[in-house]
């Protein structure tokens, strides 16, 4: 539940509630995972993942190879049964209402199995039918998707003649065929050429504008930065950081960094602004410093330089990339060690875990 709107939590397994007490509208989270675990034999792949995703929110799930991203996505897609904890998608429990979950979710898996003897439209219509669509609706939708992703000209070819990237597009169309409210896209652009990857990212932007809820797994951090409202970083099966790009940047990289370029050696300028900012380094005629309070500090710096007769050529805030934040968190590039991360209040406490025994057809 979103903190402000939290008032009614549907009973586990119940259909979602959209109206609260006293007629207030409540908006339940589209994805609500509590303390999810997955154990494969003796290996603990996912360790207590708790996650809330609001309707229309785009989340990028990042983390190193083997961190547990795909396993988490598969549990949230009712493909894999959690060993412990629970999750609801659009109010449906991923174990007790797996069929409903699969209906509301469009899932692009990491290694999609395609029926290679089929042709694109036939394949997409087959999955449309599985999702309960009429033949005419799925044919129309398949044509629209094939045109959107530039595969309409290849509609008469068999899928086994498709390239890796073309197959990945077909798998994405399969996830989109029934226009689901929730999408799990597990590395949707990995095999694609730059133009195709752009098409897919544009499609994701359109889906975001259409208020679809998207859980995107990717190793392309520029893609995550462009598309995601919120970033979730998972390592060794646990969420170690969560927030908007701005929040994570502030939390892990500290105050914004500035570059002051002067028309004279910067060494002299350091004494002039002593005590005003934290100087990172001096490099010839440039000086780099951190400040959280640029509105107050930067005009003072410029005034002091003018008083000292040191010409200011340029003053720029240095852009920070998600890659820097990610490496700080995952590779501990300096300030952030594993112990610090373990103590971060990165995720909310999970609700109590039920110990019930359930049966579900489990893939793999």
Residue of the chain from 26, 50, 70, 213 that contacts Mg ion (CB under 5 A) = 70
108 near ligand ATP (CB under 6 A): no
Partner whose binding site includes residue 40, from Mg ion, ligand ATP, none (CB under 5 to 8 Å by kind): ligand ATP
Question: At its nearest, how many Å lie between Mg ion and the CB of residue 186?
Answer: 6
115 binds, among Mg ion, ligand ATP, none (CB under 5 to 8 A by kind): none
**Among residues 57 and 186, whose Cβ is nearest to Mg ion?**
186
Instruction: Tell me the window of 60-68, 157-165, 197-205, 304-312 that interacts with ligand ATP (CB under 6 A).
Output: 60-68
When binding is defined by CB under 6 A, the residue of 35, 70, 109, 218 that contacts ligand ATP is 70
Of the candidates 213, 160, 205, the one whose C-alpha atom is nearest the C-alpha of residue 182 is: 213
Residues 110-139 that bind ligand ATP (CB under 6 A): 110
Q: Please report where in the chains the tokens 């852009």 appear, as a residue.
A: 319
Q: Is 71 in the site for ligand ATP (CB under 6 A)?
A: yes
CA atoms in the 13 A half-sphere facing the CB of 7: 13
List binders of ligand ATP among 14-43 (CB under 6 A). Answer: 40, 43
- The reply to whether 309 sits near ligand ATP by the rule CB under 6 A is no
Is residue 68 close enough to count as binding ligand ATP by CB under 6 A?
yes
The contacts of residue 39 (CB under 8 Å, 6+ apart) are 45, 83
Nearer to ligand ATP, 63 or 77 (CB): 63
Strand partners, 39: 44
Separation between Cα atoms, residue 211 and residue 258, nearest integer Å: 36
Give the footprint of Mg ion on this chain (CB under 5 A).
69-70, 110
């Amino acid at each position: 539940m979103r903190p402000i709107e939290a008032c009614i939590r549907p009973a586990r397994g119940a259909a979602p509630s959209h109206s609260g007490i006293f007629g207030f509208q409540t908006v339940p989270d589209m994805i609500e995972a509590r303390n999810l675990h997955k154990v494969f034999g003796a290996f603990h792949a996912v360790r207590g993942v708790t996650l809330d995703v609001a309707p229309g929110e785009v989340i990028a799930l990042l983390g190193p190879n083997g961190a547990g991203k795909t396993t988490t996505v598969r549990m949230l897609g009712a493909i894999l049964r959690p060993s412990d904890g629970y999750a609801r998608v659009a109010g449906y429990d991923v174990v007790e209402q797996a069929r409903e979950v699969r209906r509301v979710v469009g899932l692009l898996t990491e290694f999609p199995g395609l029926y290679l003897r089929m042709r694109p439209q036939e394949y997409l219509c087959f999955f449309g039918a599985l999702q309960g669509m009429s033949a005419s609706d799925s044919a129309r939708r398949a044509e629209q998707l094939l045109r959107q992703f530039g595969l309409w000209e290849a509609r008469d070819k068999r899928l086994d003649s498709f390239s890796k990237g073309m197959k990945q597009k077909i798998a994405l169309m399969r996830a989109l065929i029934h226009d689901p409210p929730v999408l799990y896209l597990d590395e949707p652009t990995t095999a694609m050429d730059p133009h195709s990857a752009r098409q897919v990212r544009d499609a994701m932007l359109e889906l975001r504008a259409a208020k679809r809820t998207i859980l995107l797994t990717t190793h392309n951090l520029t893609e995550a930065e462009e598309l995601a409202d919120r970033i979730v970083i998972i390592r060794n099966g646990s969420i170690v950081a969560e927030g908007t790009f701005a929040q994570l940047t502030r939390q892990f990289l500290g105050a914004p960094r500035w570059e002051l370029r002067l028309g004279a050696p910067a060494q002299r300028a350091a004494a002039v602004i002593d005590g005003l900012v934290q100087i990172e380094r001096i490099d010839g005629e440039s000086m780099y410093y951190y400040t959280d309070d640029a509105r107050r500090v930067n005009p003072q710096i410029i005034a002091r330089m003018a008083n000292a007769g040191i010409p200011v050529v340029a003053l720029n805030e240095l852009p920070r990339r998600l890659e820097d934040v990610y490496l700080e968190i995952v590779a501990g590039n300096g300030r952030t060690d594993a112990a610090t991360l373990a103590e971060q209040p990165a995720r909310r406490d999970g609700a109590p875990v039920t110990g019930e025994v359930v049966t579900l057809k489990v893939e793999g």
